[in-house]
Amino acid sequence: MLYPADIRPLTGLRFVAAFWLLIYFFWERFDLGPRDTIGIVHAGNYGVDLFFILSGFVLAHVYGPQVEAKTFSWRSFVWARLARIYPLHLICLAAMIAIWAAGSLMGATFKASAFVVEQIPYHLALVHAWGLVASDGWNFPSWSISAEWFAYLTFPISFGIAALFAKRPLIGIVFMVAVFAAFVAWMRHYNIELMNMTWQGGIVRIVPSFGMGIALWFLGRNLTLPKGVAGLGVAISTVWVVMAAAWGWPSYWIWPGLAGLVFFLAETSKTNQTPLLASKTWVYLGEISFAAYMVHLPVDIALYQIVERVMGEPKGTIALVIGIGGVLASIIAAAIAHALVEKPARNWLRANIPSFMAGKPKA
């Protein structure tokens, strides 16, 4: 059985990934102790890898049939993806520059390595996670968007490799697991944890996850799980991720659980029953998840610059309340940014594609 055109559970899963990341980023603000003492919080960083697997799966679902039918236009695809990520990236980068400039004028102090003016062109070109800069900086979470940009540019290659196993998709899954293991070993040779790479080489981190997403789509296209098995798979994958995080297992043990979540949730969309994470609320939250991820750092810095000027560094219950307020403020700001910037800019850019980027008609 084929997937529906709109795999709603995967949209809902996007918010789960984003919220996991928000808790990870704001945890230190809660004054509840170091986040590495609570495994599932400390593992929130791997919400990015969940996004990467999701991205590969969804793009294969949307564009894979075009590639196979030879109607795919790489230029149109790249423009559509740029329209999806760049306007909000640009606005958030501008917001960080404005916060830094205004704060500096008012005597605020910032981490010098996080606001290097010479790095701005790399952020504008979306190559700041390609190993070309010497530190994280500006709207730091956008490193993952830089990695995604690399995956978009090389999508035909990733899809082509996964398509080699189209008739034997399980072998394709095994191949992608082997690629992931090889990348883990490769980075360990340099004493680097693959799933902790950001600005220094996010493009390396995304490759196996994005490829696994594509391979999972091929697998799902070739089989349909018996009724109830998909939901059980979601439960097992969730328990796997939670337990691996709680027990402090190495990050590479969490990765299979993330892949399982994507695959089994997608499988729930094939039934007539209401699938998990597919309600209107979950889908809406999933739609604003990209914005939530992108705006949370400007929100955090602006909020705490004000709070610390008024009352100093918050502690105890007050810190927890303000921290939760920061999470909620990020979600509210995301809803506003999605409605006023992300969605209208994306629609306008896609409707006004330059002639040099236009290709074959999009199906």
Mean pLDDT calculated for residue range 16-43: 94
Nearest to 143 by CA among 88, 201, 80: 201
pLDDT digits (tens, 9 = 90+) for 333-354: 999 999 999 999 999 999 998 8
How many Å apart are CA 356 and CA 363, to the nearest integer?
19
Mean pLDDT calculated for residue range 318-328: 96
User: Residue 305: its pLDDT value, please?
Assistant: 85
User: Residue 36: its pLDDT value, please?
Assistant: 85
How many Å apart are CA 20 and CA 261, to the nearest integer?
14
How many Å apart are CA 298 and CA 301, to the nearest integer?
5
User: Residue 324: its pLDDT value, please?
Assistant: 96
More confident residue, 183 or 308: 183
User: Residue 359: its pLDDT value, please?
Assistant: 66
Find tokens 């500006």 and name the residue: 138
pLDDT digits (tens, 9 = 90+) for 6-21: 999 999 999 999 999 9
Mean pLDDT of the chain: 93
Between the alpha carbon of residue 111 and those of residues 103, 121, 296, the distances in Å are: 12, 19, 18
- Is residue 267 over pLDDT 50? yes
pLDDT band of residue 362 (cuts 50, 70, 90) is: very low
Helices 143-153 and 202-221 pack at an angle, to 10 degrees, of: 60
- Is residue 363 over pLDDT 70? no
Find tokens 């991820």 and name the residue: 293
C-beta atoms surrounding 86 within 10 Å: 17
User: Residue 99: its pLDDT value, please?
Assistant: 87
Between the alpha carbon of residue 44 and those of residues 10, 239, 276, the distances in Å are: 18, 15, 21
- Is residue 356 over pLDDT 90? no
Which pTM does this prediction carry?
0.94
Residues in the chain, how many?
A: 363
Q: With pLDDT > 90 as the criterion, what percentage of the chain qualifies? A: 79
pLDDT band of residue 114 (cuts 50, 70, 90) is: confident
State whether residue 31 is helix, strand or coil: coil
Between the alpha carbon of residue 98 and those of residues 134, 181, 253, the distances in Å are: 22, 42, 40
pLDDT digits (tens, 9 = 90+) for 213-266: 999 999 999 888 887 899 999 999 999 999 999 998 999 999 999 999 999 999
C-beta atoms surrounding 354 within 10 Å: 9
How many Å apart are CA 244 and CA 254, to the nearest integer?
6
User: Residue 136: its pLDDT value, please?
Assistant: 85
How many Å apart are CA 36 and CA 22, to the nearest integer?
15
pLDDT band of residue 52 (cuts 50, 70, 90) is: very high
User: Tokens for 308?
Assistant: 């610390």
Find tokens 């095994």 and name the residue: 174
How many Å apart are CA 58 and CA 287, to the nearest integer?
14
Where along the chain do its domains lie? 39-278
User: Residue 361: its pLDDT value, please?
Assistant: 44
DSSP H stretches of helix in 154-188: 155-163, 169-188
pLDDT band of residue 105 (cuts 50, 70, 90) is: confident
- Is residue 332 over pLDDT 50? yes
State whether residue 137 is helix, strand or coil: coil
Question: Which own/partner contact pairs does 159-167 have at CB distance under 8 Å and 24+ positions apart?
Answer: 159/60, 159/63, 159/64, 159/67, 159/214, 160/67, 161/211, 162/60, 162/211, 162/214, 162/215, 162/218, 163/67, 163/68, 163/218, 165/215, 165/218, 166/218, 166/222
Between the alpha carbon of residue 165 and those of residues 160, 178, 193, 202, 215, the distances in Å are: 9, 14, 29, 26, 8
User: Residue 110: its pLDDT value, please?
Assistant: 77
